[in-house]
Homo-oligomer: A and B are copies of this chain.
Amino acid sequence: MAGQTSIKEFIGNSKLHEKIMTADEAALFVKPGMIVGFSGFTPSGYPKVLPMALAKRAEHEGPIPITVWSGASVGPELDEELVRTGCMKRRFPYQTNDALRKGINGGEIQFADIHLSHCAQNLRYGFYGHMDLAVIEALEITEDGGIVPTTSVGNCNAFIEMADRVIVEINTVQPRGLKGIHDIYSLENPPHRKPIPIANVQDRIGTTALPCPPEKIVAIVHSGVQDSQRPLAPVDEVSEKMASNLIDFLSMEVKAGRLPKELLPLQSGVGNIANAVLVGLSEWPTDGLTVYTEVLQDAVFDLLDKGKISFASSTALTPSPDAAAKYYPRLDDFKNRIVLRPQEISNHPELIRRLGVIAMNTAVEVDVYGHVNSTMAGGTKMLNGIGGSGDFARNAYLTAFLCPSTSGKGKISKVVPFCSHVDHTEHDVDIIVTENGIADLRGLSPRERSAEIVSKCCHADYRELLRDYVKRAETGGGHEPHILAEAFSWHERLKNNGTMMP
C-alpha cells in the first residue's frame, strides 16, 4: 500500500513504523461510548481520513456513538460525516457546521458551550470524564517520538496527555514550513501550577513538538487531504465602516496617552468583520503592531508581510484558500514572526491580562445596557458557540464588541432592549462598535450607557423605538431600568411577524 510506505520518511522513530496502517484499520480502535479528542481548531489541523473511515464503518455497522472533543470548529470530514452517520453523541467545545448545528438545536446532540481556555484544564481535572483516544493530525513524528502538529495546536497537548491511546494522521500535503512554528507548553494542575513565563507575545517557552510516549501510539495513518479552508468575503461597506470607527477610537486613545502608538497586542475573532478590522489597520501610522489571538486570518499574513505587524501569536492558522496559496509556500519567511501555542496558553486569562490584549469580537446582538449575546439566535438557537470570546473579553485591556446595527435587510435590530441570551455581561464590555459609531461605556452607569448606546450604535430606524423603551422603563426606576413584560417584545415580533419593526 503506497500510503504505508510513503509516510515512513515522516516518522523519525523507526520503532513506530510497525504502527502504520490504513485508516479503515485504525478506525477499529474507536468503540461506542468512547470520548475521543481530535486535533483541530477553526477548520485547521484536524484529522480527515480517520473520521471518514469511521463514518464509512458506521455506514456498514450502524452508528458508533461517541463524544467528540476538538480545539474548536473542524471541517466537514469530521463534524458533518460523524453527524450524518449517527456517530456524534456529544460535542465540545465549538462548531460551525450546519448538520451539527441542526443536531444540537434539535436536542439530539448534546453540546456544552464552554470557554476555549477551560477545555484542557477541565479535562485534566477529570470534570468531563476519561479520554479514551486522541486523534492528531501531524506533520511528522520526530526521532524521540514527538508529534509535530500541522496548522493548529488547539487542545492536542492535553488530549495526548490524558488519552489512553493516540492515533496519528500524518498529513503529507500540509506545508513543510510549519516545522518549528509551534511552542508546546502544558500546565500542571493546582496546587502545582507555576507562573507562565510569557511576558511578551514573542516569548517561546516550550518545545516544537507534542511530547508523546511512543507506546501510546496505536496507529499511524496517511492523509493527503487539505484543510477545508473557507474563502473570506471581500470587505463590505458596513464592515469597513465598523473597522474605521474602531480604528479612529484607537487613534484617540493613543492621543489621550491611554495606549502606546504601536498599540497593545491585538486579538480579533474569526470571520469577515474581524478580518476587516485588521485590514483597516494596514493604514495604521506606526509599525510594530503585535497580535495575541487564537486564529490568524488573511489580514495578519498581509500585515506581517508588509512589516506592519512585527509578531503574531495564535493557536491556529486559518488563511483563505487564496492566502494559503500565497503564504504557505513562504512559511519559512514568517516562522520567526509567528508562534502557534496550545489554546490553554493562547487564551489564558493570566496572559491576556498581563499582555494587555485589545479584544475585538463580533456580537450577535447587544442590549441597551451593554450586555452581549455571542451565541444564540432568538435566545434559543445555537449558532457557533462562545469560542474564545469570553476568555479575551473578560481579561483584555480593552474589550470591544462589533456588529452591524441591523441584519436581515433591516428587519433585525442588533441593538435590542434586552439580550435574548447573555454571554458577556455589562461588567465586561468597554466599547460597542457598529457602522454608526462607537459607544464608550467605560465608567458609565447603566442610564448613561443606554443613552450612549442608543445614540451612537443603534440604527436610525430603531432609534426612537429604543429611546422610547428606555424612557418608559426609567419612569419605573431602578439602577438598570427595564420593563420586563416588554423586554423580549422585539424578539417576539421578529418571530411572529418576521421583523422587529412594529
- Give residues of chain A (221-274) contacting chain B, Cβ–Cβ below 8 Å: 256-258, 260, 264
Best-surrounded residue of A128, A200, A349, A448 (most CB of chain B within 10 A): A349
> Which chain B residues lie closer than 8 Å to A482 at the CB level?
379-380, 420
Does chain B have a CB within 8 A of A24? no
Does chain B have a CB within 8 A of A502? no
Picked from B126, B371, B442, B478, the residue with its CB within 8 Å of the CB of A381 is B478
Nearest B residue (CB) for A351 = B350
Picked from B125, B348, B484, the residue with its CB within 8 Å of the CB of A379 is B484
Does chain B have a CB within 8 A of A285? no
Using known A-B contacts A193-B355, A193-B356, A427-B115, determine if residue A484 contacts B442 with beta carbons closer than 8 Å: no
Proximity string of chain A (420-436) to chain B, C-beta cutoff 8 Å, 1 when within and 0 when not: 11111111101000000
Which A-B residue pairs are the 7 nearest by beta carbons? A190-B356, A380-B478, A382-B479, A195-B195, A110-B445, A422-B422, A350-B350
Picked from B126, B443, B484, the residue with its CB within 8 Å of the CB of A491 is B484
Task: Find out whether the CB atom of A258 lies under 8 angstroms from the CB atom of B126.
Answer: yes
Picked from B194, B395, B442, B445, the residue with its CB within 8 Å of the CB of A128 is B442
Does chain B have a CB within 8 A of A492? yes
Best-surrounded residue of A104, A105, A356, A425 (most CB of chain B within 10 A): A425
- Kindly list 19 other residue pairs between chains A and B, CB separation below 8 angstroms, not including A379-B480, A381-B477: A105-B478, A107-B479, A107-B481, A113-B426, A126-B256, A126-B258, A127-B430, A127-B442, A128-B443, A191-B260, A191-B356, A195-B197, A379-B484, A379-B487, A380-B481, A382-B479, A390-B425, A423-B425, A484-B492
Proximity string of chain A (82-115) to chain B, C-beta cutoff 8 Å, 1 when within and 0 when not: 0000000010100000000000111100111111
List 18 A-B residue pairs with CB atoms under 8 Å apart, sorted by A's residue number: A105-B478, A107-B477, A112-B443, A114-B427, A118-B427, A122-B443, A126-B257, A190-B264, A191-B355, A191-B356, A379-B480, A379-B487, A380-B473, A380-B481, A381-B477, A381-B479, A382-B479, A485-B488
Main secondary structure of the interface of A (DSSP, over half): loop
- Give residues of chain A (460-478) contacting chain B, Cβ–Cβ below 8 Å: 473-474, 476-478
> Which chain B residues lie closer than 8 Å to A194 at the CB level?
199, 354
Task: Find out whether the CB atom of A92 lies under 8 angstroms from the CB atom of B353.
Answer: no
A353 to B: closest C-beta gap in Å: 6
Cα–Cα distance between A350 and B445 once the two chains are bound (Å): 27
> Which chain B residues lie closer than 8 Å to A397 at the CB level?
125, 190
Does chain B have a CB within 8 A of A166? no
Using known A-B contacts A258-B126, A379-B482, A442-B128, determine if residue A425 contacts B427 with beta carbons closer than 8 Å: no
Cα–Cα distance between A484 and B420 once the two chains are bound (Å): 8
> Which chain B residues lie closer than 8 Å to A199 at the CB level?
193-195
Using known A-B contacts A92-B443, A443-B128, determine if residue A378 contacts B484 with beta carbons closer than 8 Å: yes
Count how many chain A residues have C-beta atoms less than 8 Å from C-beta atoms of the other chain.
85
- Give residues of chain A (190-220) contacting chain B, Cβ–Cβ below 8 Å: 190-191, 193-197, 199-200
Cα–Cα distance between A479 and B356 once the two chains are bound (Å): 34
Nearest B residue (CB) for A101 = B479
Cα–Cα distance between A354 and B421 once the two chains are bound (Å): 30
> Which chain B residues lie closer than 8 Å to A476 at the CB level?
380
- Give residues of chain A (286-321) contacting chain B, Cβ–Cβ below 8 Å: none
Cα–Cα distance between A190 and B382 once the two chains are bound (Å): 36
Cα–Cα distance between A104 and B479 once the two chains are bound (Å): 6
Cα–Cα distance between A349 and B425 once the two chains are bound (Å): 17
